[in-house]
Amino acid sequence: MIRHVMRWEAVLVAILVAELLIFGAINPRFLNSASLLFGTSDFVHIGMVAVPLTLVIIAGGIDVSFASTVGLTAILFGIANFMGAPLAVSILAALGAGALAGGFNAAMIRVTRLQPLVITLGALYLFSGAATVLSGAVGASGYEGIGGFPAGFTAMGYARILGLPTGLALFLAIAVALWLLLHLTRFGRLVFQTGQNEAAARHSGLPVGRVQATTYVLTGLCAALAGLMLSAYFGSARVDLGTATLLPAITAAVLGGASIYGGQGSVLGTVIAVFIIGYLQQGLQMSGVPSQISGALSGALLVVVVALRHGAALLRDLIPAASSSR
């Protein structure tokens, strides 16, 4: 299994390199290191939620509500700031709300024992509805959002950490932390085993509920980080900040090798997939393709890559000779 995953990550790297070379051939400016580096600011927020989402999926769950959590936590931050709370308190409020949102999902799934997709779908509406109502309550009607942040906060959106843009640095930090957590620690082992066979995990006395709840809380927390990052970047908190992350984030996790049935996946794979999807959108824009179409291409990419993967497995079953080379 481990070897299988490594091989898949190698395929993803090859796709990424091919993609960069093709766009570089079309438009040499694309391969300029500054544009590669700062271009990431347009998509790192996808990665910030895709990585914890990978853990949720591996543990046998799914979360679609994070797309609203991003906006909800950003609005809460904006409101706290608007009411005159110190910056640190506002940030903590947003992070706390994100963790609570994740905890709410986990609690509802546990109490109702229904499929996570259904519960988090309800939460997707609930959270975005709450964000809309809250932003209406402070008079920030419509989609213009809540602004007026301290200069120090908005500056963070454009600062550099170790030479990297803040967003990218934050994304990589999340990725490294969760990679360590998933692949080297006892908790990571529990995440995999819960997803591989939940009944056996219960029989073995593993804390199934706690493990799954933690993955949802992590996702809520990272969604809040993404919400804060986007608020700083745009200088205002909006309800719909995260709406566009829903499909690309799930796409990244699945493309990265996470099995929708649980028990399989890798943080590294998701990270590479995020770059594939992000640079695809960027490269297309720089090549003069309208931005809407890049959505089509990342959809097509997902279909083609996963179809190839399943098609290859199908072929292996049909042609015994191919499998003897394993």
Partner 1 sequence: MGEMLAELRGVTKAYGPVQVLRDVDFEIRAGEIHALLGGNGAGKSTLMKILAGLVPASAGEIRINGTSLSHPTPAQVQALGLYLVPQEAHIFPHQSVLQNVCIGLPRAAHHYRDRIERHIAELGVSISPDAKAATLEIADRQLVEILRGMIRNARVLVLDEPTSALTPHEVEALFTRMRALRDAGAGLVFISHKLHELRAICDRITVLRDGNTVLAAPLADCPDTRIIAAMSPGASALRDRAAPREIGAQALTLEGVSGEGFEDISLGLRAGEILALTGVVGAGRTELAETLVGLRPLAGGRLEVNGRALPRPSPRRAVDAGLVYLSEDRQQYGLFLEAPLFWNTSSFVTHKLPALLRPGREKARFARYRDSMKIRCQSPEQSAAALSGGNQQKVLLSKCLAAAPRVLILDEPTRGVDVGARGDIYAIIEELAAQGVAVLLISSDFDEVVRLADRIAVMAGGRIAGELPGGSPIGEIARLAFESREPAHA
Partner 2 sequence: MLDAIARNRVATLVCVTVLVLLAVGLAAPGFLTGNTAAIIWSNGLVLMLVALGILPVILTRNIDVSGGSILGLSAVVLGLTVNAGTPLWGAVALALAAGTAAGALNGALVAGLGVPAIVATLGTLGLYRGIMLIATGGEWIEGLPDGLKALGAKGAIGIAPLGWVVGALALALALALRTRRGLWPNAVGDNREAARHLGLPVRRIVFGSFTFAGFMAALAGVTFAAQIGFVPNQAGTGIELRAIAALVLGGVSLLGGVGTAGGVVVAVIFFTAIDTALVFLKIPAYWNDLIGGAMLLLVLLIDGRLRIALERRDRAARYRRATQLPDRTPLEDAA
The Cα–Cα gap between 129 and 288 comes to: 36
**Contacting residue, 34, 151, 162, 326, with partner 1 by CB under 8 A:** 326
How far, in Å, are 82, 147, 164, 175 from residue 41 at the CA level?
Answer: 26, 20, 10, 16
Near partner 2 by CB under 8 A: residue from 138, 176, 307, 322:
307
Considering only 43-51, 106-114, 159-167, 206-214, which stretch makes contact with partner 2 by CB under 8 A? 106-114
- Among the candidate windows 194-202, 211-219, 224-232, 246-254, which touches partner 2 by CB under 8 A? 246-254
String marking each residue 204-243 x if it binds partner 1 according to CB under 8 A: xxxx------------------------------------
Q: How many residues bind partner 2 (CB under 8 A)?
A: 48
319 binds partner 2 (CB under 8 A): no
Determine the distance from the C-alpha atom of residue 298 to the mean position of all C-alpha atoms in its chain, rounded to a whole number: 15
The residues pairing with 237 across neighbouring beta strands, listed in sequence order, are 146
Cβ closest to partner 2, residue 18 vs residue 133:
133
8 touching partner 1, by CB under 8 A? no
**Structural tokens at position 155:** 């500056």
Q: State yes or no: residue 88 binds partner 1 (CB under 8 A).
A: no
Closest residue by Cα to residue 76 from 185, 220, 188: 220
**161 or 316: whose CB is closer to partner 1?**
316
- DSSP states of 18-43: HHHHHHHHH-GGGG-HHHHHHHGGGT
Q: Confirm or reject binding of residue 11 to partner 2 (CB under 8 A).
A: no
| Interface with partner 1 (CB under 8 A), residue from 264, 281, 282, 298 | 264
Nearest alpha carbon to residue 241 among 259, 223, 258, 253: 223
Q: Residue 288 binds which one of partner 2, partner 1, none, with CB within 5 to 8 A depending on kind? A: none
- With CB cut-offs between 5 and 8 Å by kind, which of partner 1, partner 2, none does residue 197 bind? partner 1
Region binding partner 2 by CB under 8 A among candidate stretches 115-123, 156-164, 182-190, 194-202 = 115-123
Spatial CA neighbour of 22 closest among 316, 279, 196: 279
Residues 6+ apart with CB under 8 A from 46: 245, 248, 249, 252, 274, 277, 278
Q: How far apart are CA 227 and CA 152, in angstroms?
A: 17
Site for partner 1 in 177-196 (CB under 8 A): 184-190, 192-193, 196
| Closest distance of CB 188 from partner 1, Å | 8
Q: Counting contacts by CB under 8 A, is residue 115 touching partner 1? A: no
207-239 CB burial, b ≥16 within 10 A, e <16: ebeebbbbbbbbbbbbbbbbbbbbbbbeebbbb
Q: What is d(CA 176, CA 314) in angstroms, rounded to the nearest whole number? A: 34
- C-alpha closest to that of 60 among 2, 123, 115: 115
Among the listed residues 84, 139, 163, 320, the single contact to partner 1 using CB under 8 A:
320
CB of 139 to partner 2, least distance (A): 13
Residues in contact with partner 1 by CB under 8 A are 1-2, 184-190, 192-193, 196-197, 199-207, 263-264, 316, 320, 323-324, 326
Residues in contact with partner 2 by CB under 8 A are 64, 108, 111-115, 117-119, 121-130, 132-133, 136, 247, 250-251, 254, 260-261, 290, 292-303, 306-307, 310-311, 313-314
